[in-house]
Amino acid sequence: MRKEDPILELSAQLKDIAKDLSFLGHPRYPLKTLTKIFPQHHKFIDELEDVSVPFGVNVKSKRLAMDQFLKDLAVAEISQDMKKVFTQRVEDYHTLLSMMENFDNVFFYDHCVKLYGTSHQSTQNNSFLYFLEKIPDFCVPDVSEKTLQGEAARNYLKNRLLETFEDTDVDVRPSTSLLSDSSAGRKVLKLNPYKTYSTQALDIFLVHEGWVHLGTSLNGAAQAEHPWLATWAPRTTFLQEGLAVLTELITGCMTHERWSKVMLRHLATTMAERGSNIQDVYSFLRHHDIEELDAFKLALRVFRGVPLDGGMAFTKELLYLHGMVQLLYHLQFYQKDLRSLWVGKLSFEEHVILMNHPNDMHANLRYFPLGLEDPLVKERLRKLQELSYSLFRTGFL
């Protein structure tokens, strides 16, 4: 390791370790069982990977690389805070590998809870329930006059993205295998080409997937002194998803229908953790007027990596609401604005470390959506912060 730039060297090692560990975005399922339970969705099931298909990751070599990384880290001439950042991220990757080794059994859930938590505590928190009841006050009706599909929807979204990002940095592409309506990679936003979207719905994708997920990825990739900010780790998901849902709310994009779906995702995950099987969850979503295929996709998200007979869930689905409440409390407690959250892929604890070292851990900001500077946006954020802080004076979770 070159002593003149240990953070750059360690960041490069970390990036290599993280490569191929985003397997949770490409899950496997027991396809024969799914086809038997949901024969009406056989066409979509045929596009999924079966649990018998191995993940393309050499677990042994990954663990050896992590062990070597920790040895290099121990002798690196960097601050204890930075050693803590790197150590925690490697611990996350170890847990991910354990999840990979236990995909589709009960031990997957145990490791999942280590990374993403559980619903058991929040569902007994009356302050959290009251907070959720107040959120519809910040939602708006979908008054879109136009609906778009396919290339027209992609062009609309691409043009909106170009209001914030350079053309060479972003693209919108079709994908038929998504478990959600849209998804963001490092430079690409994916959209279902067969679904019809209102312009309001596309604006939600703009701020959630574009401004937040793409924006923080691009800003992280632009970090010269701290390139680790470009590397994803499970602990960054808590802040990322909370920030994405919060951005929908404060920009006035969050519709009542969208909020209902966010809530149903949380409730479906809670149901699964408390014993409901995938058929129960699917029926619950259909009862709340979710379209058949959308209900099936959401049920698949909830049961990603765990058995289909209930008592467990993929608890990352809880982070949209848990993360938003924690983020609001965090911003109010530390009296920080949103700009400091856009520097890359951060956890809450890593954000505090950056704030504590403003001179020697300066992070650049290549992109920041101008829409977030709007006085109405800032006022909505202020009101939500005050609401969360009044309810969670000693912290949320």
CB 209 within 8 A of CB 184: yes
- Has residue 348 been placed in a domain? yes
**Among 22-36, 229-243, 350-364, the range of highest mean pLDDT:** 229-243
Average pLDDT over residues 44-58: 92
- Has residue 296 been placed in a domain? no
Strand 188-191 to 171-174 pairing? parallel
Query: Which pLDDT band holds residue 392 (cuts at 50, 70, 90)?
Result: confident
- Has residue 261 been placed in a domain? no
- Has residue 337 been placed in a domain? yes
pLDDT tens-digit series, residues 71-118: 999 999 999 999 999 999 999 999 999 999 999 999 999 999 999 999
pLDDT number for residue 357: 80
Nearest C-alpha neighbor of 142 from the set 200, 206, 207, 202: 200
Residue 20 pLDDT greater than 60, yes or no: yes
Residue 214 pLDDT greater than 70, yes or no: yes
Instruction: Identify the weakest region by mean pLDDT among 39-48, 290-299, 357-366.
Output: 357-366
- Has residue 385 been placed in a domain? yes
The residues that bridge with 59 in the sheet, in sequence order, are none
- Count Cβ neighbours within 10 Å for each residue of 327-350 and write b for 16 or more, e otherwise: bbbbbbeeeeebebbbbbbbbbeb
Average pLDDT over residues 22-40: 92
- Has residue 74 been placed in a domain? no
More confident residue, 299 or 23: 299
Domain count, the chain: 1
More confident residue, 359 or 297: 297
CA distances 215 to 183, 186, 207, 362, Å, are: 13, 9, 9, 18
Share of the chain above pLDDT 90, in %: 79
- Has residue 333 been placed in a domain? yes
CB-side exposure of 148: number of CA atoms within 13 Å? 15
pLDDT tens-digit series, residues 338-390: 999 999 999 999 999 988 887 766 777 899 999 999 999 999 999 999 999 88
CB 282 within 8 A of CB 303: no
Total count of residues recorded for the chain: 397
- Has residue 32 been placed in a domain? no
Per DSSP, the residues of 139-173 read -B----S-EEEHHHHHHHHHHHHTTTS-GGG-EEE
Query: Containing domain of residue 195, as a range?
Result: 126-255+319-391
Residue 2 pLDDT greater than 70, yes or no: no
pLDDT tens-digit series, residues 139-198: 999 988 899 999 999 999 999 999 999 999 999 998 876 666 777 777 889 898 888 999
pLDDT number for residue 301: 94
CA distances 233 to 90, 205, 347, Å, are: 9, 22, 9
Nearest C-alpha neighbor of 181 from the set 261, 90, 254: 261
Question: What integer best gives the mean pLDDT of the chain?
Answer: 92
Residue 215 pLDDT greater than 80, yes or no: yes
Query: Which pLDDT band holds residue 1 (cuts at 50, 70, 90)?
Result: very low
